[in-house]
Every structure is written in C-alpha cells, then in structure tokens.
Amino acid sequence: GALVYQYPRRTICKSGTSMRMECQAVGFQATSVAWYRQSPQKTFELIALSTVNSAIKYEQNFTQEKFPISHPNLSFSSMTVLNAYLEDRGLYLCGAYRVSNQAPLFGEGTRLSVL
C-alpha cells in the first residue's frame, strides 16, 4: 500500500541549532509535497508546497532562508529548520500528493522540541 514515512518521529535540538527532517513516499510517486507545522495550541499551517521540477512556493511568514526544502525526486523530500528557537516547536507534517490537486497522504510527523 501507499504510505508516507517521516523521520525522525521526535527530536530535540538546542536553541540556535538546526534540525533536518525527512519525508519518504512509499508505494507511489509524489508529484508534490507539502510541509505543515502545528505549533502548540494551534492548528496546522502550510509552510511550503514543493512540486518536482518547479519552484518551491512558501507561504507568508515562512521563508526559504529559514526552512530550506529539498525535493530531488518523486519519492523523497527533506526540510531543515535553521536556527531553531522556541517558536519553532511543534509537529511538522509532510503531505505527499499523487495528483497535485487531490487529497494528500500524510506522514506521522516529526515532533520538534527546542531547549
């Protein structure tokens, strides 16, 4: 079956350091990948939408300088949180699309804590 695997599931980093998280589509090809963040006591916000062979589109309040994303092929994407601070804590979800405007398949997320 098709699933999305995210790694790591949980991570802790020191304030000011960086953290890379990965997203793997298994059993299907992901034409697009979306990264979302759920901050404590908040709902999910879209960080960016990445389509293979196209520019990555970042939402307002999120930048490539802070959240660089790599999407080298149809099965893998990674995102780094650079210079993480307390406000970057939360659950980061990767949603992979088989077809760009249809329902994405979500991974279980990477939970980031910042000390």
Partner 1 sequence: GQQVQQSPTSLVLQEGENAELQCNFSTSLNSMQWFYQRPGGSLISVFYNPSGTKQSGRLTSTTVIKERRSSLHISSSQITDSGTYLCAMGTNTGKLTFGDGTVLTVKP
The one among 32, 69, 71, 112 contacting partner 1 by CB under 8 A: 32
Q: Confirm or reject binding of residue 81 to partner 1 (CB under 8 A).
A: no
Query: What is the Cα gyration radius of the chain?
Result: 13
Site for partner 1 in 57-76 (CB under 8 A): none
Site for partner 1 in 87-106 (CB under 8 A): 91, 93, 95, 97, 100-106
Question: Cβ 107 to partner 1, closest distance in Å?
Answer: 8
Question: Cβ 58 to partner 1, closest distance in Å?
Answer: 12
Residue 108: CA atoms inside 13 Å, Cβ hemisphere, count?
7
Distance of CA 88 to the CA centre of its chain: 13
Question: Cβ 32 to partner 1, closest distance in Å?
Answer: 6
Q: Confirm or reject binding of residue 49 to partner 1 (CB under 8 A).
A: yes
For residue 38, give the 3-state DSSP assignment.
Answer: strand
E strand spans, the chain: 3-7, 10-13, 19-26, 32-38, 44-51, 57-58, 69-73, 76-81, 90-97, 105-106, 110-114
Q: Name the residues that contact partner 1, by CB under 8 A.
A: 32, 34, 36, 38, 42-46, 49, 91, 93, 95, 97, 100-106, 108-109, 111
